[in-house]
């Protein structure tokens, strides 16, 4: 009988420990702010706060050790508008493979440090419903000659980078928390060697080599 009670108490303890411990897998949704220098002129659509400074974040992290997480995250900077008769869209995607350590300051308060190699990607898309010279208009502002492309298409470029952040997380419950992160995006971006229809072209001039970044994320435990 005593042996049964001991097993029951131990099983109950283990069950409650698992039920109320922090989940190992986290899904992240949030936003951020950075301030790159982006050269724009006609016919590129006017750029404001949303197109220049706002970041949209999503990601996931998995706890592999009592105070260590690994993960993957993306931050997107989006710019929309029109060029001539065509729709214009620019997406700068900052993609990070993260290694994070964390420590509990108090029961519901966490301090974390993140280091992340990055493989970033930029894309600029023109969507045309009829033959157009809008590609030539856009590319001439970047210093290119005519490409004789009359249809919609996308120009893309990938480049490596690195980011580091320090963060603070507050737990509302074991499944829901909010975090703020402050750090840097460091990038080897160059306007050269974008690809359009298999051909190399010059892209937008941007200074994104070393940028302070502020992020606020909602963290959902699964």
Q: Per-residue pLDDT tens for 39-69?
A: 777 788 888 899 999 999 999 999 999 999 9
Task: Render 172-221 in DSSP notation, one character per residue.
Answer: EETTEEEEEEEEEEEE---SS-EEETTEEE----EE-SEEEEEEEEEEEE
Residue 16: the pLDDT is: 39
pTM of the model: 0.85
Both tokens of 214, joined, read 């502020």
Residue 107: the pLDDT is: 87
Q: Is the pLDDT of residue 3 over 70?
A: no
Q: Calculate the CA 121 to chain-centre distance.
A: 10
Q: What is the pLDDT of residues 21-35, one digit of tens each?
A: 568 899 999 999 999
Residue that the structure tokens 């992020």 belong to: 215
Q: Is the pLDDT of residue 89 over 50?
A: yes
Q: Is the pLDDT of residue 179 over 60?
A: yes
Residue 114: the pLDDT is: 97
Helix (H) or strand (E) holding 151: none
Q: Mention the CATH class of domain 23-221.
A: mainly beta
Residue 22: the pLDDT is: 66
What is the Rg, in whole angstroms, of the alpha carbon atoms belonging to the chain? 23
Both tokens of 60, joined, read 């996931």
Helix (H, G, I), strand (E, B) or coil at 21: coil
Report the distance separating Cα 168 and Cα 115, nearest Å. Answer: 15
Residue 79: the pLDDT is: 93
């Amino acid at each position: 009988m005593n042996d049964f009670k001991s097993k029951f108490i131990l099983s109950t303890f283990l069950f409650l420990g698992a039920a109320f411990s922090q989940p190992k897998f986290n899904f992240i949704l949030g936003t951020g702010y950075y301030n790159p220098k982006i050269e724009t002129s006609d016919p590129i659509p006017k750029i404001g706060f949303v197109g220049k400074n706002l970041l949209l974040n999503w990601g996931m992290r998995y706890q592999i050790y009592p105070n260590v997480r690994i993960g993957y995250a993306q931050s997107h900077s989006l710019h929309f508008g029109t060029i001539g008769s065509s729709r214009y869209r620019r997406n700068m995607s900052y993609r990070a493979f993260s290694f994070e350590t964390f420590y509990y300051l108090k029961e519901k308060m966490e301090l974390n440090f993140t280091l992340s190699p990055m493989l970033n990607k930029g894309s600029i898309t023109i969507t045309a419903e009829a033959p157009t010279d809008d590609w030539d208009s856009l590319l001439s502002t970047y210093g290119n000659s005519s490409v004789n492309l009359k249809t919609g298409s996308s120009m893309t470029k990938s480049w490596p980078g690195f980011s580091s952040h320090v963060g603070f997380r507050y737990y509302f419950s074991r499944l829901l928390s909010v975090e703020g992160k402050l750090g840097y995006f460091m990038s080897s971006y160059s306007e050269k060697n974008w690809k359009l229809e298999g051909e190399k072209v010059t892209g937008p001039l941007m200074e994104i080599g070393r940028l302070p970044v502020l992020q606020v994320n909602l963290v959902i435990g699964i």
